[in-house]
């Protein structure tokens, strides 16, 4: 087995991964802020974290993995107040949707799902510890962290702290990138908004203290891995380090792993650009959960992922190829015995699959190992060069593959139905129609007219009329 190597944002290098206890990994991931539905960018990060945990499990580690739901932050408190409901009532719908979305994308549940609102006491206690060590100062009912007293501030994100001015402070948790400023650990109540009455005063926690307090409560004062999207490195994770290490005097997390962002058609996703998608938006267009998971997982996490509908369609075809291959293996009747060299070839593919994932979770390399084996095996089957005795070893390779990528099981329709996306009365979704038309076009190019007629009939039976135009393109409409 290969040495596991991960890129550590702290230090900026790829390093051998060795957890504190030999067989256990203590990992914290910043979960979603449940003020809205999570979008596909968020799920890029959550799928990366899922692949990370699945890989560590496959390599025999017992996971102690905590993911929080940020259910207190400025936006949630303001939105709940505006809607005249409690924080729990406001966030519950989005928390539930998040759990459902994770299930739909085969994201495994961590050992602990926790909510910030259930841990206010732990946050207050941590702030008290920081108060005792003079890392804090009060201001207009809030409590701030004194960055100047923590000389290592900036070590994660390499932010320049020379410009820090005494008393320059910020109340907003999600501030812009240029400056490090004293941040609020505890925020004074605002009129009409929810607050907690605690020994350190009335108010609510800042976002950063939430994660420090919850991570250390469940995982101890030094974690093995802390992860999130790259936007969290500064200020969120930098502030978590400042809070935790000032309180304990120990390193807070040994490996910091951050995923790069997802872009849509090369642009930052934003509601105003009209390129903003939740999972449900894509399912409503007829795309399948397995295709989305594959598309999100296929780009190594430290590369930006450019999401396109073409890419999603290709991901769907890749999943189909994998499933067809598994079916061919299961159903095929091959001559008895073993093919010379096949066992070694499968072993080589398994080794390359592990080498790819061990290499800072290089999913593209791991996928290439699987698809190379698939292509070669399909060719061997076509030429009658494949033997029944080799079936179990290929199946075992696929089972291992699926422990990480989790796209082999044909459960998309069932999952979509569970989310309320039943088959539509109006017939198949546009994407499905376009896929069938493309299949028909390639059948025609192969001069396989039986197949092309079959597809035309299938479409007609499902209420879709197609019309071939002179220039070779195809138009379609619903009957
Ligand atoms: P939030 O709900 O904003 O706290 O974000 C949840 C997770 O999604 C965090 O780890 C973010 O870093 C991550 N994230 C946010 N936007 C993107 C994006 N466009 N691509 C990848 N990850 C993202
Ligand atoms: Zn966090």
Q: What is the pLDDT of residues 281-332, one digit of tens each?
A: 999 999 999 999 999 999 999 999 999 999 999 999 999 999 999 999 999 8
Atom 15 of ligand 1 has which residue's CA nearest to it? 42
pTM: predicted TM-score of the whole model, two decimal places: 0.88
User: Could you tell me the CA-to-CA distances from 309 to 282, 320, 399 in Å, in that order?
Assistant: 10, 17, 28
- Can you give the pLDDT at residue 177? 65
Are 83 and 90 a contacting pair, CB within 8 Å?
A: yes
Are 183 and 174 a contacting pair, CB within 8 Å?
A: no
> In terms of Cα–Cα distance, which of 366, 358, 362, 364 is closest to 400?
366
Helix, strand and coil percent figures for the chain, each rounded to 5: 50, 20, 35
Q: Cis check for the bond before 281: say yes or no (omega within 30 of 0).
A: no
- Can you give the pLDDT at residue 426? 55
The tens digit of pLDDT for each residue in 153-169 reads 999 999 888 767 667 78
> In terms of Cα–Cα distance, which of 388, 288, 293 is closest to 337?
388
The tens digit of pLDDT for each residue in 111-168 reads 999 999 999 999 999 999 999 999 999 999 999 999 999 999 999 999 888 767 667 7
| 260 Cα nearest atom in ligand 1 | 21
d(CA 23, CA 57): 10
Query: How far is the centre of ligand 1, averaged over its atoms, from the C-alpha of 243 (Å)?
Result: 22
- Can you give the pLDDT at residue 427? 65
Query: How far is the centre of ligand 2, averaged over its atoms, from the C-alpha of 206 (Å)?
Result: 11
Atom 8 of ligand 1 has which residue's CA nearest to it? 42
Query: How far is the centre of ligand 2, averaged over its atoms, from the C-alpha of 99 (Å)?
Result: 18
Q: Is the pLDDT of residue 425 over 60?
A: no
Q: Is the pLDDT of residue 424 over 70?
A: no
Residues 6 or more apart whose CB falls under 8 angstroms from that of 418 comprise 100, 103, 104
> DSSP label at 472?
S
- How many other CB atoms are there within 10 angstroms of residue 249's CB atom? 9
Q: What are phi and psi of 70, to 5 degrees?
A: -80, 100
Atom 18 of ligand 1 has which residue's CA nearest to it? 41
Query: How far is the centre of ligand 1, averaged over its atoms, from the C-alpha of 229 (Å)?
Result: 5
Mean pLDDT for all residues in the chain: 93
- How many other CB atoms are there within 10 angstroms of residue 199's CB atom? 9
Encoding tokens for residue 465? 């009329």
Q: What are phi and psi of 359, to 5 degrees?
A: -85, 75
User: Could you tell me the CA-to-CA distances from 123 to 5, 130, 196, 243 in Å, in that order?
Assistant: 33, 11, 12, 11
Lowest-confidence pick of 238-242, 345-349, 424-428, 457-461: 424-428
Encoding tokens for residue 264? 């849509």
Encoding tokens for residue 441? 């076009």
- State the burial class of residue 54 (Cβ atoms within 10 Å of its Cβ: 0-12, 13-18, 19+): buried
In a 3-state reduction of DSSP, which class is residue 387? coil
- State the burial class of residue 284 (Cβ atoms within 10 Å of its Cβ: 0-12, 13-18, 19+): middle
> In terms of Cα–Cα distance, which of 67, 57, 61 is closest to 28?
67
Query: How far is the centre of ligand 1, averaged over its atoms, from the C-alpha of 45 (Å)?
Result: 6
Please give the distance of CA 100 from its chain centroid, rounded to a whole number: 14
Q: How many residues does the chain have?
A: 479
| 263 Cα nearest atom in ligand 1 | 19
d(CA 461, CA 443): 19
Tell me the ligand closest to 301's alpha carbon. Answer: 1
DSSP-assigned states of every residue in 282-340: HHHTT--HHHHHHHHHHS-TTS-EEE-HHHHHHHHHHHHHHHHHHHHHHH----SS--T
- Can you give the pLDDT at residue 178? 66
Are 230 and 33 a contacting pair, CB within 8 Å?
A: no
- Can you give the pLDDT at residue 423? 60
Are 227 and 46 a contacting pair, CB within 8 Å?
A: no
Mean pLDDT in residue range 67-91? 93
Work out the percent of the chain whose per-residue pLDDT is above 70.
97
Are 283 and 416 a contacting pair, CB within 8 Å?
A: yes
In a 3-state reduction of DSSP, which class is residue 42? helix
């Amino acid at each position: 087995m290969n040495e596991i190597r991960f890129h550590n944002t702290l230090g900026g290098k790829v390093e051998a991964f060795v957890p504190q206890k030999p067989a256990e990994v203590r990992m914290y991931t910043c979960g979603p802020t449940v003020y809205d539905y999570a979008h596909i960018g968020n799920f890029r990060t959550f799928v990366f974290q899922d692949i990370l945990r699945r890989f560590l499990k496959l390599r025999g580690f017992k996971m102690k993995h905590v993911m929080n739901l940020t259910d207190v932050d400025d936006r949630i408190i303001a939105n709940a107040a505006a809607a005249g409901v409690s924080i729990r009532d406001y966030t519950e719908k989005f928390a539930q949707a998040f759990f459902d979305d994770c299930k739909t994308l085969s994201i495994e549940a961590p050992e602990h799902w926790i909510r910030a609102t259930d841990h206010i006491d732990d946050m207050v206690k941590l702030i008290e510890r920081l108060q005792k060590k003079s890392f804090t100062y009060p201001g207009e009912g809030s409590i701030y962290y004194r960055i100047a007293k923590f000389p290592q501030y900036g070590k994660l994100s390499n932010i320049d702290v020379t410009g820090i001015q005494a008393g320059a402070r910020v109340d907003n948790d999600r501030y812009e990138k240029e400056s490090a400023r004293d941040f609020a650990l505890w925020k004074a109540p605002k009129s009409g908004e929810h607050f907690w009455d605690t020994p350190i005063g009335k108010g609510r926690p800042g976002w950063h203290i939430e994660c420090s307090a919850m991570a250390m409560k469940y995982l101890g004062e030094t974690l093995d891995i802390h992860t999130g999207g790259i936007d969290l490195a500064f200020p969120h994770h930098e502030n978590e380090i400042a809070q935790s290490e000032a309180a304990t005097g120990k390193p807070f997390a040994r490996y910091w792993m951050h995923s790069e962002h997802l872009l849509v058609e090369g642009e930052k996703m934003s509601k105003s650009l009209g390129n903003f998608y939740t999972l449900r938006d894509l399912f409503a267009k007829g795309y399948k959960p397995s295709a989305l998971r594959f598309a999100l997982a296929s780009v190594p996490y430290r590369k930006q992922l450019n999401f396109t509908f073409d890419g999603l369609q290709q991901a769907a075809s890749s999943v189909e190829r994998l499933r067809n291959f598994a079916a061919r293996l299961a159903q095929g009747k091959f001559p008895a015995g073993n093919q010379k060299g096949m066992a070694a070839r499968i072993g080589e593919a398994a080794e390359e699959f592990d080498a790819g994932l061990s290499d800072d979770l290089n999913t593209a390399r791991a996928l290439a190992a699987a698809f190379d084996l698939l292509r070669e095996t399909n060719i061997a089957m076509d030429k009658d060069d494949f033997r029944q005795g080799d079936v179990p070893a290929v199946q075992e390779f696929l089972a291992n593959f699926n422990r990480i990528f989790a796209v082999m099981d044909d459960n998309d329709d069932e999952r979509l139905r569970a989310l309320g996306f039943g088959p539509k009365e109006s017939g198949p979704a546009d994407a499905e129609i376009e896929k069938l038309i493309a299949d028909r076009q390639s059948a025609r190019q192969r001069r396989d007219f039986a197949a092309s007629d079959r597809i035309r009939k299938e479409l007609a039976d499902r209420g879709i009329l197609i019309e071939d135009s002179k220039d070779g393109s195809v138009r379609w409409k619903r009957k």
